Amino acid sequence: MLDQVRAIAAEAHRHLAQATTEQELELWRTRFLGRKGALNELLRGLGTLPADQRPVVGAEANRLKRELEAAFEQRREALVARARAAALEADRVDITLPGRPPVIGTLHPTTQMIRRITEIFASLGFDIVTGPEVEWDYYNFEALNIPPGHPARDQWDTFWITPEDSERPMLLRTHTSPMQVRIMEKQKPPVRVVVPGRVYRYEATDATHESVFHQFEGLAVDEGVTMADLNGTIYTFARRMFGERRRIRFRCDFFPFVEPGVDVAVDCWVCEGAGCTLCRRSGWIEVMGAGMVHPRVLEYAGIDPRRYTGFAFGGGVERFSMLLHRIDDIRLFYGNDIRFLRQFVA
Ligand code: PHE
């Protein structure tokens, strides 16, 4: 029977060397070390041996059992190590290859322009604040002296959050002007703020119209504020924004929340006023709406119009970028074309 033990040993070692997967290893274990495996079958036969041979064969069989268990462990570790080495090899990184240059993003042109605008006003003593894009009809229209049914509403058609005729109608703001009232409700004069932000209009889009764009609003309220202050502020801003030689022009215009109201133009920085394609031969470029805050708006905000006066102005952020960079289609700003955006590396 000792021959049988040796035969099992030889066979087991040979098969173990051929096992290359976990599954094959498991099959091997069942076959040689399992409850019904070769070794146990043999041990079960011990009883048929003469009594003096039993301890010899038994001891030899048990020694083989420990030997095979050790060989099994060794083989398994070898296979795991081999698999790990193969995985590492497959994952190998060639650190001598040239790297991929990291793509560094830039601020969106609109963000850049908002910063440029607000930095100028900040240097003139204006605070920069922002307000809600979802707005009450009250602030967007009513408190700005545009009651329900007022024809000026046609100019600012919007997206309604609630039905237009509900008790407290809510909408997407059509301009940044509602912040005039919100600020004056909270802060008593002197007030000097600039409000950049996103606004919405319900209209067909084309090269010069988007349903989402940005404005900046300015507001200054104090005792004795006059149109001369408005003029000086806009003049300083225009020269910083469009060039030191700029002149400005105020012409009468109508906005329900200012009186008097003006449209502000600067002389064309391309042709110096002679007339070119940018200014459409007029020599002037309209850049803002402005005016003296209407007394009724002051009243809505709880400020006494007999004591205080103020001026307000508002302009389009994308319009500034379009004029300064000669961009001919406003839809480019939010078309997400990386070739467009990449041109505005700050
Ligand atoms: N809110 C006006 C618009 O959207 C601009 C404006 C602001 C006009 C402040 C006068 C004063 O067209």
pLDDT values of the chain reduced to their tens digit, one per residue, 346 residues: 788 888 888 888 898 889 888 888 988 999 888 888 888 888 888 888 888 888 888 888 888 888 888 888 998 998 989 989 999 999 998 889 998 888 888 999 999 999 999 999 999 999 999 999 999 999 999 999 999 999 988 888 899 999 989 999 999 999 999 999 999 999 999 999 999 999 999 989 999 999 999 999 999 999 999 999 999 999 999 999 999 999 999 999 999 999 999 999 999 999 999 999 999 999 999 999 999 999 999 999 999 999 999 999 999 999 999 999 999 999 999 999 999 999 998 7
How many Å apart are CA 35 and CA 31, to the nearest integer? Answer: 9
Q: What is the pTM of this model?
A: 0.74
Q: Which residue minimizes the CA distance to atom 3 of ligand 1?
A: 175
**Which DSSP string do the residues of 217-256 spell out, in sequence order?**
EEEEEETT--HHHHHHHHHHHHHHHH-TT--EEEEEE--T
Ligand 1, CB within 6 Å, residue ranges:
175, 177, 217, 255, 258, 261, 289-291, 312-314
Residue 205: its pLDDT value, please?
93
Residue 58: its pLDDT value, please?
84
**Which DSSP string do the residues of 171-218 spell out, in sequence order?**
EE-SSSTHHHHHHHHH-PSSEEEEEEEEEE--S--BTTB-SEEEEEEE
Residue 53 CB contacts under 8 Å (≥ 6 apart), including other chains: 1
Based on the number of CB atoms within 10 Å of its own CB, is 160 exposed (0-12), middle (13-18) or buried (19 or more)? middle
Residue 291, sorted as left (phi over 0), alpha (psi -120 to 50) or beta, turns out to be left
With contact defined as beta carbons under 8 Å apart, do 117 and 320 qualify? yes
The best mutation among 140, 146, 175 to test binding of ligand 1, ranked by most ligand atoms within 8 Å of the C-beta, falls on 175
Q: Which residue minimizes the CA distance to atom 10 of ligand 1?
A: 290
Residue 23 among the catalytic residues: no
Tell me what percent of the chain is helix, strand and coil, each rounded to the nearest 5.
Answer: 45, 20, 35
Q: Catalytic residue, from 9, 181, 191, 258: name it.
A: 258
Nearest 10 degrees: Cα torsion 264, 270, 276, 279: -20
Residue 156 among the catalytic residues: yes
Q: Which residue minimizes the CA distance to atom 4 of ligand 1?
A: 175
Residue 339: its pLDDT value, please?
93
Residue 13: its pLDDT value, please?
87
> Does CATH place domain 109-341 in 3.30.930.10?
yes
Ligand 1, atom nearest to 177 Cα: 1
Residue 285 CB contacts under 8 Å (≥ 6 apart), including other chains: 265, 266, 267, 268, 269, 278, 279, 323
Q: Catalytic residue, from 215, 265, 294, 297: name it.
A: 215
Ligand 1, atom nearest to 215 Cα: 4
Residue 215 among the catalytic residues: yes
Ligand 1, atom nearest to 289 Cα: 8
Alpha carbon of 213 to those of 128, 198, 265, 297, 315: distances in Å? Answer: 19, 6, 21, 25, 11
Q: Catalytic residue, from 153, 312, 317, 319: name it.
A: 312
Ligand 1: distance of its center to the CA of 23 in Å? 78
Residue 312 among the catalytic residues: yes
With contact defined as beta carbons under 8 Å apart, do 147 and 115 qualify? no
